[in-house]
Structure formats: C-alpha cells, structure tokens
Amino acid sequence: MEIGGLFITRMIILTIGPLIEAASARPAQYVQQLLFRRITKNQKSMWDYYKSEVGKPFFLEMNTFKLGNVLLMAFMFGPGIPIMFPLALLFVIFNESSLRFQLAYQCRTPFKYSSAMNRSLIRLCAFMPVLYSSFGLWMYSNRQIYDNAVIPKSHKNGL
C-alpha cells in the first residue's frame, strides 16, 4: 500500500471511531448493569448500585490528543493529499457531536479540567500554517512527486 493510502485510511478510521464509540457505549453499559444485577442479587450497597448505573468516566485528554493528531496530519500532508482536509472537517464534526452526546447521555460528570491543555493545543495550532507552507513548498517544488520524473545523481569516477 502506498503511504498516501495509509494516511487516508488512518484519517477514515479516526473519523468513524467516535461514531462507533458512541453507538457501542450504551449497549456496553446496559450489559454491565445486567451482569451487576445478576452477580449481586441481595448484596447491593448504594455505592455499588450507583457505579453500575452511571456511565464510564469522561476523559478529555484522549479526545484532545486525537484532535491534535488529525489536525497535524491534515496540515502536514494536505498539500500532497487534498482529501485530508474534508476528512479532518468530518472528524471535527463527528467528534464534537459524539462527544456532546456521550457527555450528555453516557458519561459521568467530567472532572474539573484546567484550560492548560486547550491552551497548549491552541499554541500547537498556531504553528500548523508554518507546517502547511513548508511541506507544501517542498511537495510543490519536488518534481518526483507530481511529474514522476526521477533525476539521476551524477556518478563520480564512473561508479
């Protein structure tokens, strides 16, 4: 498989991932509740019942990491593979909508997060146009990428 196909496959998997996670979390929570009720028939404490009824904890770090990963891939390889930008837009839309759905219906109340993680992602996003322009300049000026022309090196001493 070519490297471009690998990047596109990675972006498609990252784009579909939040939808699969949102669709599978509620049935998994339901199965957990059924198992808890079957195992602890008469031994329920209030805390155990609460733990079985609420959803999974909400981890913002992984979602921020995925967003940074998708944006970096789109800005680094977007000049050579333009389909990366619509896939990144789809990821942002799907991820944001599934996060809101999961937070509202499937997850516990999140912990108090500081805004340091968001500030570091915004600082990283400030350098993405520089990455885009530098990789774009290299890709657009390289004849091997678009013309498929290989320029041979000059051989020294006939070797």
Q: What is the pLDDT of residues 74-85, one digit of tens each?
A: 998 888 888 999
Is there a domain that residue 153 lies in?
no
The number of distinct structural domains making up the chain is: 1
Residue 154 maps to a domain: no
Instruction: For residue 154, give the DSSP letter.
Output: P
Query: pLDDT above 70 covers what percent of the chain?
Result: 70
The token pair that represents 135 in the structure block: 């990789």
Residue 97, in any domain of the structure: yes
Residue 98 has a CB neighbour count (10 Å cut-off) of 20
Q: With respect to residue 157, please indicate whether it lies within any of the assigned structural domains.
A: no
What does the pLDDT average to over 62-86?
Answer: 88
Domain that holds residue 125: 3-146
Residues 6+ apart with CB under 8 A from 9: 1
Report d(CA 119, CA 57) in Å as an integer: 23
Whether 132 is covered by a domain: the verdict is yes
**Quick check: is 155 in a domain?**
no
pTM above threshold 0.75: no
pLDDT digits (tens, 9 = 90+) for 3-27: 778 888 888 888 888 888 878 877 8
